Amino acid sequence: MTLSACGGGGGSANTSGQGQGGQGGGQAGQTSQSQTLTVAIGIDADTLDPAGQTTTTIQNILDYVTQPLVALDKDGKTQPLLATSWEPSPDGLTVTFHLRTGVRFQDGTPFDAQAVKFSLDRMLDPKVKVPLRGPFTAIQSVEAKDPQTVVLHLKHPAPALVSALTETAAAIISPASIDKYGNTYENYQHPVGTGPYAFKEWVKNDHITLARFDGYWGQKPYYGSVVFKVVPEAATRESMLLAGQADVIILPPASDLKALQQNPAVKVLLAPSDRTIFIAINTQDPKLKDPRVRQALNYAVDKQAIIQNVLFGAADPMDAPMAKSLFGYCSIGAYPYDPAKAKQLLQEAGEPSLTLRFIAPTGRYVQDFQAAQAIAGDLAKVGVQTSVQTMDWPTYVATMTKPLNENTTQLHMLGWAPGYMDAEQQMVQFLKADWPPAGLASSFYTNPKVEQLVAQAGQTVDPAQRQQLYCEASKQIWSDAPWIFLWTQRFPIVYSAKITGVSYLPNEMFDILNARPAQ
C-alpha cells in the first residue's frame, strides 16, 4: 500500500544500496556527477512525509532518501540496513536493535539511537497523520539504550513487527530537519534521511528530483541525479521511453507489452507483485449493507474476460483476499462470472436495480480506468447503473480517505500491495481500527469474528497456528464480500537497452540504484 492506494512498502532502494549491485554493464564503484536518470511514473505525490505516505510509487522515491532499520530483499526476506542485527527477548516483549556506525544524515548530523527514537515516536504519535501506522501499534515504547542500541518494548508478542519495520513509514529522518526547509513536526515535506540520494525539488504535477548524496554510507549509485517525471498517460510514458526522453517507465500500455518485448531498443520486466486490485464497496452505505448485494456485484463481473481483453493477461484472478505470495494465504475458491446468480441475489436483497457512484484512478494501476469502464459495463448487465469517474491521484486519495461521516464513495477501485510478505498488513484492509482517516480500510468493513481471528494471529508465534487463523479470517471476508475481488496485478517495468542494472522487489517496487550505462 500500500495506497495502495497503495499499500505499504519500503526498503527497496536501501537493500540495493548496501553494495550488492553493479551487476551488468559499467563497473561497480563508478559514478557520474553530470548524468541524470529519468524515470516516468503515472502519478504525483500526495505527500513526501515518509510516515504519511500511502502509495508504493511514492514510497519507491522516498526509499532513495530515507531508510528504515531493516530492508526487504528480492526474496521477500528481512535484511539489515541501518540496524546491523537485532534480537527478540525470549518472552517476545522486547526487540533490541544494534545500529550501524559511521552513518550521517544528508544534513550532516549523525545517525544514532536518539534519531531512531525520535522518528519511531513521531510515527506512533496520534498527532501525526500516519495511515499505515497499524503494524506498529504493538510498540509500547522506544528506548535509546545507548548511542548504538535501541530497544522496542512491546505491548504483546508481535511476530511480524521486524518485517513491518522495512516499511517506508518506519524510515528514520533527521531530527534536526523537523523545523528546517519549511518542515514542521506535523507537516514534513522536505525529507532528510540517510539514503543514497537527497531530496532536491518537487514541482507538483511535473517532477521530483533527487541528487546523489556523496556522504552516503553504502555503495554510491552511478547517476548524479534522478528525475521522476509525472506522466499520467501510459502511452505518453511509452513514447518518452522510445524517444529517449525517459530511461525507465513503469506501467506501459498493457496492449503494447508484446511489441515492447520484441523491440531491441528496450528491456521489459514483468515483475511479480503482491498487489491485489479490487473495487472497495462502502459496506456502511444503506444500499450496500446487505452481503447479498456485495456478493452479487462479485458474480456480476467477468474478471477473466477483463484480464484477457483489457489487461492483456498482465494479472491473475484472486481466489482469496490476498496475493498468493503472502504468508497466511490459502485458496478459498472464486466468485465465477454468473450474471443470473447476481440478479437472483439482488432480487433476494430487495435491490433489483441500483444506481451507484463509482470512481477509479487513471495511471495508478495497469489499465485502471479502462478496467473500471469494463466493470461498469458488466454491472449494468445485472441492473447496477454506474457512471465511472476519474480524477488526479492526490484528489482521489483525499476523496476515498475521508472519515465515514463525510465519505460519499460507494464503489472505488483500489490496489493494495503489502510492504512485507505477511497477511498481517493485508488484513488491515478489513479492520475497523484502520477505517479512514486512521488507515486505508476504505470499504468501512468490520466483522467481530474477523477482528478476533486477526488479533489472535497477530500475537501467535507458532507459524502453523498463524497460517490457520489467517485462513479462517480469509474465508469469512470472502463470504462478506467487502470488495469486488478482482486480480493480482503483475508489475511491468520497461527501460532503455542503453542501461542495465534495473530490477524489482516483490512488493511492487522498481529498483534503479544499480542502474548504469550498459556497455
Sign of CA dihedral 13, 17, 18, 21: positive
Report the predicted TM-score, pTM, of the whole model to 2 decimal places: 0.80
Instruction: Calculate mean pLDDT across residues 3-18.
Output: 37
User: Of 27-31, 87-91, 269-273, 484-488, which range is least confident?
Assistant: 27-31
Q: pLDDT, tens digit, for every residue of 306-320? A: 999 999 888 999 999
- pLDDT computed for residue 313 by the predictor: 84
Q: Which residue has the cell 525470549?
A: 90
Residues in contact with 42: Cβ distance below 8 Å, sequence separation at least 6, in sequence order: 57, 230, 231, 232, 234, 237, 250, 251, 362, 363, 364, 393
Which is nearest to 13 in space by CA: 160, 192, 194, 267? 194
With contact defined as beta carbons under 8 Å apart, do 514 and 21 qualify?
yes
pLDDT > 90 in the chain, percent: 80
- Asked if 482 and 443 count as a contact pair (C-beta separation under 8 A), the reply is yes
- Tens-place pLDDT, residues 20-69: 333 333 455 688 888 999 999 999 998 999 999 988 899 999 999 999 99
Average pLDDT over residues 470-480: 98
Q: Cα–Cα distance between 400 and 409 in angstroms, integer?
A: 7
pLDDT band at 274 (very low <50, low <70, confident <90, very high): very high
Exposure string of 355-383, with b = 16+ CB inside 10 Å and e = fewer, is ebebbbbbbbbbbbbbbbbbbbebbeebb
- Stated as kind and residue range, the H or E segment containing 12 is helix 12-16
pLDDT confidence tier of residue 419, bands split at 50, 70 and 90: confident
Task: Compute the distance between CA of residue 151 and CA of residue 149 in angstroms, rounded to an integer.
Answer: 7
- For position 227, what pLDDT does the model report? 98
Cis peptide before 352 (omega within 30 of 0): no
pLDDT recorded at residue 12:
35
By the 8 A CB rule, do 441 and 429 touch?
Answer: yes
CA distance 169 to 419: 10
